[in-house]
């Protein structure tokens, strides 16, 4: 959904010196498109994955005079902008979830379709791996993670099997986990929803990287960083992310005045204007071209008012 993202941000990025933040740099595809379409804009791009920063740095080398690539998680945006001396920005883009590079590199352990070490850390310099989560978390905590982050209805059944198996031998590779999940699920559960391991893998990835907690801090921080007239576009790939984005945008676009006031004071008036009715979905053509786009949901908002204390 590259074009809808660019079109959504375009009205805010026409003036020379406009700053746009790509909070999820990845391999730099969105950043390259932003720099190409808006030749007078400055880009600040964040990623927690050091390999992504290296590869995208090569890709974006022709634009190096107006790019800042920063090793950071996107909830660190306020600190990054402070260090760069940027008080407000005109555009912010989030492309959430796991990048194609991370999915395609077997050794990262994100994909359930190929055997690999159970790592799943987006930043491999810090944090616990998926294997450590599986091998050390109490059963009740594993059930909570699978239910909350993977929306896995069979969480108890899967966790019981994991606990039995880890007592025999700790988990280290993905193929063993995938096989265990297939064996643990009833036949009816295996007939719907694609690969039966995908919800467990999603849940582990979110836990390992603290994705929802980070996003919960990052979206409000990004809205706060927008100048009046600035725009934010967020691509999410599962209902948990999309729900969180929807809630932040809806709160910003709401009139919070007590009922019955004849005149609404400025502090109660909306700070945001929603740019989508609901979430914008990918076209059939795009899904046919790139099946990974199928679950994408795009939401956007424009800053129309400063915060008033």
The tokens 């297939």 sit on which residue?
182
DSSP character at residue 199: H
Q: In this prediction, what percent of the chain has a pLDDT beyond 70? A: 92
232-251 average pLDDT score: 94
Dihedral angle sign, alpha carbons of residues 141, 144, 148, 150? positive
Query: Same structural domain for residues 75 and 126?
Result: no
Of the candidates 212, 293, 306, 291, the residue with the CA atom closest to the CA atom of residue 252: 306
Query: Same structural domain for residues 163 and 20?
Result: no
Query: Same structural domain for residues 204 and 218?
Result: no
Query: Same structural domain for residues 205 and 110?
Result: yes
Angle at 7 between CA 222 and CA 298, to 5 degrees: 55
Band the pLDDT of 261: cuts 50, 70, 90.
confident
Residue 130 lies in a domain: yes
The tokens for 39 are 């030749």
Q: Per-residue pLDDT for 190 more than 80? A: no
Strands 226-236 and 297-303: antiparallel
pLDDT of residue 107: 55
pLDDT of residue 74: 94
pLDDT of residue 195: 81
- Picking from 190, 209, 228, the residue at the C-terminal end of a domain is 209
Q: Per-residue pLDDT for 268 more than 90? A: no
Q: How many CA atoms lie within 13 A of 68 on its CB side?
A: 16
Q: Indicate the SS3 state at residue 143.
A: helix
Query: Same structural domain for residues 164 and 245?
Result: no
286-308 average pLDDT score: 87
Q: Per-residue pLDDT for 113 more than 60? A: yes
Output the known binding site: 28-30, 47, 74, 95, 102
HEC readout, 104-132: HCHHHCCCCCCCCECCCCCCCCCCCCHHH
User: pLDDT tens digits for 33-46?
Assistant: 999 999 999 999 99
How many domains would you assign to the chain?
Answer: 2
Please give the Cα distance from 206 to 67 (Å, whole number): 29
Residue 86 lies in a domain: yes
Please give the Cα distance from 105 to 114 (Å, whole number): 10
Query: Same structural domain for residues 13 and 91?
Result: yes
Query: Same structural domain for residues 236 and 199?
Result: no
Of the candidates 166, 122, 120, the residue with the CA atom closest to the CA atom of residue 142: 166
Give Cβ neighbours of residue 96 (< 8 Å, ≥ 6 apart).
24, 211, 215, 234, 235, 236, 237, 241
Give Cβ neighbours of residue 32 (< 8 Å, ≥ 6 apart).
59, 60, 63
Q: Per-residue pLDDT for 100 more than 80? A: no
Q: Per-residue pLDDT for 293 more than 90? A: no
Band the pLDDT of 260: cuts 50, 70, 90.
confident
Query: Same structural domain for residues 238 and 162?
Result: no
pLDDT of residue 108: 54
Query: Same structural domain for residues 195 and 215?
Result: no
CATH of the domain at 141: 1.10.150.170
Residue 101 lies in a domain: no
The tokens for 258 are 């007590």
- Picking from 180, 209, 238, the residue at the C-terminal end of a domain is 209
Please give the Cα distance from 163 to 179 (Å, whole number): 15
Q: Per-residue pLDDT for 309 more than 80? A: no
Output the known binding site for S-adenosyl-L-methionine: 28-30, 47, 74, 95, 102
Residue 100 lies in a domain: no
Query: Same structural domain for residues 215 and 204?
Result: no
Query: Same structural domain for residues 79 and 159?
Result: no
Which residues span the domain enclosing 245?
2-95+211-303
Angle at 198 between CA 193 and CA 199, to 5 degrees: 85
Q: Per-residue pLDDT for 15 more than 70? A: yes
- Picking from 177, 209, 241, the residue at the C-terminal end of a domain is 209
Give Cβ neighbours of residue 38 (< 8 Å, ≥ 6 apart).
10, 13, 14, 18, 20
Q: Per-residue pLDDT for 114 more than 70? A: yes
pLDDT of residue 294: 82
Band the pLDDT of 94: cuts 50, 70, 90.
very high
Residue 309 lies in a domain: no
Is the CB of residue 189 less than 8 Å from the CB of residue 196? Answer: yes
User: pLDDT tens digits for 167-178?
Assistant: 999 999 999 999
User: pLDDT tens digits for 56-87?
Assistant: 999 999 999 999 999 999 999 999 999 999 99
């Amino acid at each position: 959904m590259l074009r809808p993202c660019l079109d959504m941000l375009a009205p805010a990025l026409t003036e020379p010196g406009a700053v746009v933040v790509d909070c999820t740099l990845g391999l730099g595809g969105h950043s390259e498109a932003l720099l190409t379409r808006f030749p007078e804009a400055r880009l600040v791009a964040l990623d927690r994955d050091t390999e992504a920063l290296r590869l995208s740095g090569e890709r974006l080398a022709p634009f190096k005079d107006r790019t800042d690539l920063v090793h950071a998680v996107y909830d660190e945006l306020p600190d990054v902008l402070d260090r760069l001396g940027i008080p407000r920005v005109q555009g912010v883009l989030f492309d959430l979830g796991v990048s194609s590079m991370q999915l395609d590199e077997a050794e990262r352990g994100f994909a359930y379709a190929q055997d690999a070490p159970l790592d799943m850390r987006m930043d491999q310099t810090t944090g616990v791996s998926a294997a450590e989560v599986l091998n050390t978390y109490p059963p009740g905590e594993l059930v909570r993670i699978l239910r909350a982050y993977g929306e896995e209805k069979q969480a108890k059944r899967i966790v019981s099997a994991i606990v039995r198996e880890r007592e025999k031998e700790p988990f280290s590779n993905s193929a063993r986990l995938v096989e265990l999940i297939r064996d643990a699920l009833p036949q009816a559960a295996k007939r719907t929803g694609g690969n039966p391991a995908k919800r467990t893998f999603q849940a582990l990835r979110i836990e390992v990287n603290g994705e929802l907690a980070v996003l919960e801090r990052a979206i409000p921080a990004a809205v706060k960083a927008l100048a009046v007239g600035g725009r934010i576009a967020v691509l999410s790939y599962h209902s948990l992310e999309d729900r969180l984005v929807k809630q932040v945008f809806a709160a910003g676009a709401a009139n919070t005045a007590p009922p019955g006031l004849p005149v609404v004071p400025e502090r109660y008036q909306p700070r945001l204007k929603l740019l989508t009715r609901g979430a914008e979905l990918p076209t059939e053509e795009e899904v046919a071209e790139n099946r990974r786009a199928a679950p994408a949901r795009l939401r956007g908002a424009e800053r129309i008012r400063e915060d008033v204390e």
